[in-house]
Amino acid sequence: MGRNPTTLLRKFHQARWDEPIILEMSTPGERGVLVRQAEKAVQTEVGDGLSAIPAGLRRTTSPQLPEVNQVRVLRHFMHLSQETMGTDVTIDISQGTCTMKYSPKVQEHIATRHPGMADVHPWQPESTMQGLLEVIYKLDHFLREISGLDRFTFQPGGGAQGVYTGASMVRAYHAARGDRDRSEVITTMFSHPCDSAAPATAGFKIITLMPDKMGYPDVAALRAALSERTAAIFITNPEDTGIYNPRIQEYVQAAHEAGALCYYDQANANGMLGIARAKEAGFDLCHFNLHKTFSVPHQCMGGSVGAVGVREDLAKFLPVPTVEFDGRQYFLNYEASASIGKIRSFFGNPQSMLKAYAWIMQHGADGLREAAECSVLNNNYLEKKLSEVPGVSVHYAADKRKLEQIRYSWEKLFQDTGVGTEDVMRRMADYGLQHYWMSHPPWIVPQPFTLEPCESYSKDDLDEYAAVLRQISKEAYEDPELVKTAPRNQVVHKVPEPSIDEPERIAVTWRQYLKKK
């Protein structure tokens, strides 16, 4: 019993419940929960209430929702949660660029359960929300210090929406200058795809710079791409490869000379807290993903905040409302004539802002810096361990120090054994590890995988992780079919066709599936 002390491998098996789809679990007449009925006196006054609904709008056939008793519903979703490998249960170094750090339970409990958060209505009078507004106000000031920029908004519901907000502000900025020609945005191949997709949504043409042989975006290409049509450059640094571009200032200067703004996608900020900031590099706008760097949980791709910061002269374009303090009270300011308006309803995800606030309050300047340093140390340590695993290589800047994540390659393994990154990805779950993330398309690095051992992971965790990859490499060389037919100890077996693009195979709801069976 217990993890093998030498190999560090576990005899893991994921919970496998053979769980049906909830719509298959219906028993006519069963109730999952009973709901409040109107009082008799109310019924006397207004009748059944339904005759008020105009004839053409009355629902005549019941929705075909399943009828399941509460016990079974609970059990069903508990099974599904057991069949999910959240960061709480695994060494999640796997989801590189996502910064899967520990979401402290103390802040989780308060943010979800305290009625002063859970039961607050966004339209409540501001005098009744002072605690909430104080959190937002202070978080704004923390991020100003951390980034060096002057004002933050927390309205965007995620990093991509943050980039979209930035692009909207860039659009407003040039319009206010009377410059109608700024139709292009420049980004790089290794920046997040949202750095091109979100500005494109805001109406810009996108020019992408290809990486040079070292993996940096090509400076000469940038100069060739800059013109009086350039509205802004949108880049991530360090990029997804984990390489910090030391010439970043040159980029920013070149862009400014062309009259363009510079947006800093700080999804990969975790290694740089307290060490390098957007301001010193010259950026005009930036965003942080609160669910990455600032410990807000990832929530099955949900509930986050893309905190967008700007220089003072761009603050007038921020979405409304902003949170301000008049000396006595915190208030929501909707008066911003140059504002881009709104990106999202209300003022963002306050419970997530509270968690980020709590995390910063618990660590302080020294703690943030410690987090950054340890994440970089972890990454370099893991790189060293993986350099001993046959078949692994680092595609770019192999001789340079990387920051908090690295994009590796299994190209050699693939050439030697025919086992590729997707096979390894499936197999690792048999050892209790979350599938690693490979790369954004296009796959410039062949057979890629991107790992980010942020500061939440101990040396022992890193050793175990490396041990698993070493084991799978061994399996690939000795018995490739074992890896290629993985997973074996998981909830389900391999899906041979995970990309579904024939119309006849598309079934995104149970009813669609039944119709096509």
The residues in 15-74 that bind another protein, with binding defined as CB under 8 A, are 19, 21-23, 30-39, 41-43, 45-50, 52-54, 56-60, 62-68, 70, 73-74
Question: Given the structure tokens 């306050």, which residue do they identify?
Answer: 350
Is position 390 an interface residue for another protein (rule: CB under 8 A)?
A: no
Q: Which of 91, 93, 149, 198 binds another protein (CB under 8 A)?
A: 198
Question: Given the structure tokens 């028993």, which residue do they identify?
Answer: 27
66: which 2 tokens?
């399943």
Q: Which of 166, 309, 348, 391 binds another protein (CB under 8 A)?
A: 348
Could you say which residues in the range 305-324 bind another protein, by CB under 8 A?
A: none
* Closer residue to another protein, CB minimum distance, 266 or 352: 352
Is position 193 an interface residue for another protein (rule: CB under 8 A)?
A: yes
In sequence order, what are the residues at sequence separation of 6 or more whose Cβ sits closer than 8 angstroms to the Cβ of residue 352? 111, 290, 291, 296, 303, 304, 305
Is position 435 an interface residue for another protein (rule: CB under 8 A)?
A: yes
- Single-letter residue type at 14: Q
248: which 2 tokens?
């970043």
Rounded to 5°, the CA angle 304-305-311 comes to 165
Query: What is the rounded CA–CA span in Å between residue 155 and residue 336?
Result: 15
Q: How far is the CB of 47 from another protein (least distance, A)?
A: 8
Q: Which of 315, 356, 438, 467 binds another protein (CB under 8 A)?
A: 438
Q: Evaluate whether 241 touches 396 at the Cβ level (below 8 Å).
A: yes
Q: How far is the CB of 230 from another protein (least distance, A)?
A: 11
Q: How far is the CB of 63 from another protein (least distance, A)?
A: 5
Is position 412 an interface residue for another protein (rule: CB under 8 A)?
A: no
Size of the site for another protein (CB under 8 A): 245
> By three-state DSSP, how is residue 319 classified?
coil
* Closer residue to another protein, CB minimum distance, 150 or 373: 373
For 251-271, give one letter per residue: b (16+ CB within 10 A) or e. Answer: bbebbeebbbbbbbbbbbbbb
Q: How far is the CB of 481 from another protein (least distance, A)?
A: 8
Is position 178 an interface residue for another protein (rule: CB under 8 A)?
A: no
Could you say which residues in the range 289-308 bind another protein, by CB under 8 A?
A: 289, 291, 295, 297-304
Is position 341 an interface residue for another protein (rule: CB under 8 A)?
A: yes
Q: Which of 139, 207, 258, 269 binds another protein (CB under 8 A)?
A: 207
In sequence order, what are the residues at sequence separation of 6 or more whose Cβ sits closer than 8 angstroms to the Cβ of residue 165? 153, 155, 156, 287, 306, 308, 319, 340, 343
Could you say which residues in the range 70-129 bind another protein, by CB under 8 A?
A: 70, 73-74, 76-90, 92, 94-95, 98, 100-104, 106-108, 110, 112, 114-125, 127-129
Is position 394 an interface residue for another protein (rule: CB under 8 A)?
A: no
Is position 180 an interface residue for another protein (rule: CB under 8 A)?
A: no
Residue window 460-499: x/- pattern of binding to another protein, with contact defined by CB under 8 A: -x-----------------------x-x--xxxxxxxxxx
Is position 358 an interface residue for another protein (rule: CB under 8 A)?
A: yes
Is position 457 an interface residue for another protein (rule: CB under 8 A)?
A: yes
Query: What is the rounded CA–CA span in Å between residue 406 and residue 108?
Result: 30
**Of 349, 280, 431, 389, the residue nearest 117 (C-alpha):** 349
Q: Evaluate whether 209 touches 186 at the Cβ level (below 8 Å).
A: yes
323 CB-contact burial (10 Å; exposed 0-12 / middle 13-18 / buried 19+): buried
> Taking contact as CB under 8 A, which single stretch among the options 161-169, 228-236, 308-316, 467-475 is the one that binds another protein?
161-169
Query: What is the rounded CA–CA span in Å between residue 362 and residue 351?
Result: 17
Q: How many residues does the chain have?
A: 517
Residue window 242-281: x/- pattern of binding to another protein, with contact defined by CB under 8 A: -xx-x-xx----------------------x-xxxx--xx
Q: How far is the CB of 39 from another protein (least distance, A)?
A: 4
Is position 221 an interface residue for another protein (rule: CB under 8 A)?
A: yes
Is position 374 an interface residue for another protein (rule: CB under 8 A)?
A: yes
* Closer residue to another protein, CB minimum distance, 292 or 473: 292
In sequence order, what are the residues at sequence separation of 6 or more whose Cβ sits closer than 8 angstroms to the Cβ of residue 500? 506
Q: Evaluate whether 231 touches 261 at the Cβ level (below 8 Å).
A: yes
Whether the CA torsion 106, 108, 110, 111 is positive or negative: it is: positive
> Taking contact as CB under 8 A, which single stretch among the options 155-163, 253-261, 307-315, 467-475 is the one that binds another protein?
155-163
In sequence order, what are the residues at sequence separation of 6 or more whose Cβ sits closer than 8 angstroms to the Cβ of residue 123? none
> Taking contact as CB under 8 A, which single stretch among the options 198-206, 254-262, 308-316, 466-474 is the one that binds another protein?
198-206
Query: What is the rounded CA–CA span in Å between residue 64 and residue 58?
Result: 16
Is position 286 an interface residue for another protein (rule: CB under 8 A)?
A: no
Is position 501 an interface residue for another protein (rule: CB under 8 A)?
A: yes
